């Protein structure tokens, strides 16, 4: 049990930093593992809700008097937030698949609010907002910039976190590609969707470790740029 005490927070900390780098199956495994542990520690009840001790700890900052229990509560809250954010994001994409773009955006709002430092949710919300265009797209640049800051670090620093940075841009290119596909019959995405996808591949070209990788990203960027025409997207 003492081993579990440090293992679960470590798993949750890893999830916090890795974000979208984990597959959906991996994230579900870790979340279910942490949730079961949190229930055993009295942090969550069987319905996944916070217990009274946990509510006092989270809402009022009150210590239970036991450092191990406090740590368990803090870890349990992280697990709960990760699961709820993932559920909200999944629901958002489900709404988008049915043509409910506003509802999709609202669900991603929930995910970002729960996990503001997870760059994947920022990318997802930005992609949906840009396809909505109008006033919705005005907040997208902030999400894109924040995702870059979270994944790549301070651009002024000489050595950004290249691996995480690449993962973020690959995730971004994929999200804009998904949005382009999630269109009602007879509809097209806005051209800015393809432009942002092309920009993501351009960034990946700069971060590529080999000439082969760079050539692959260049090919994908060119494909995205070819889609920026009135036959395949709305210009405004």
CA distance 86 to 107: 10
Burial of 44 (0-12, 13-18, 19+ CB in 10 A): buried
Burial 168-192 (b: 16+ CB within 10 A, else e): bbbbbbbbbbbbbebbeeeeebbbb
pTM of the predicted model as reported, rounded to 2 decimal places: 0.71
pLDDT in tens, 130-149: 988 766 778 899 999 999 99
Sole residue written with tokens 């069987």: 46
Name the residue range of residue 106's domain.
1-117
Give the per-residue pLDDT at 83.
83
% of the chain beyond a pLDDT of 90: 50
Give the per-residue pLDDT at 165.
92
Question: Looking at the 3D structure of the chain, how many domains does it have?
Answer: 2
Spell out, as residue ranges, where the chain has pLDDT lower than 70.
1-77, 134-135, 155-160
pLDDT in tens, 176-216: 999 999 888 888 999 999 999 999 999 999 999 999 999 99
Q: Are residues 69 and 124 in the same domain?
A: no
Token pair in block for residue 228: 């920026």
**Domain end point (choices 73, 97, 117):** 117
């Amino acid at each position: 049990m003492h081993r579990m005490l440090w293992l679960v927070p470590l798993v949750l900390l890893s999830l916090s930093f890795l974000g979208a780098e984990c597959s959906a199956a991996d994230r579900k495994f870790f979340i279910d593992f942490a949730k079961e542990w949190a229930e055993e520690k009295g942090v969550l009840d069987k319905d996944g809700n916070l217990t009274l001790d946990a509510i006092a700890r989270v809402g009022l900052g009150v210590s239970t008097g036991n450092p191990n229990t406090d740590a368990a509560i803090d870890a349990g809250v992280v697990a709960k937030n990760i699961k709820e954010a993932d559920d909200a994001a999944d629901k958002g994409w489900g709404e988008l698949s049915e043509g409910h773009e506003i509802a999709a955006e609202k669900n991603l709002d929930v995910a970002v609010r729960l996990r503001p430092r997870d760059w994947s949710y920022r990318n997802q919300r930005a992609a949906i907002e840009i396809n909505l265009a109008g006033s919705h797209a005005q907040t997208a640049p902030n999400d894109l910039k924040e995702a870059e800051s979270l994944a790549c670090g301070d651009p002024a620093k000489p050595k950004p976190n290249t691996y995480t940075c690449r993962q973020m841009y690959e995730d971004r290119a994929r999200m804009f590609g998904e949005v382009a596909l999630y269109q009602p019959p007879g509809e097209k995405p806005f051209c800015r969707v393809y432009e942002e996808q092309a920009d993501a591949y351009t960034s990946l070209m700069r971060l590529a470790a080999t000439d082969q990788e760079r050539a692959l990203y260049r090919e994908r960027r060119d494909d995205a740029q070819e889609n920026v025409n009135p036959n395949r997207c709305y210009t405004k």
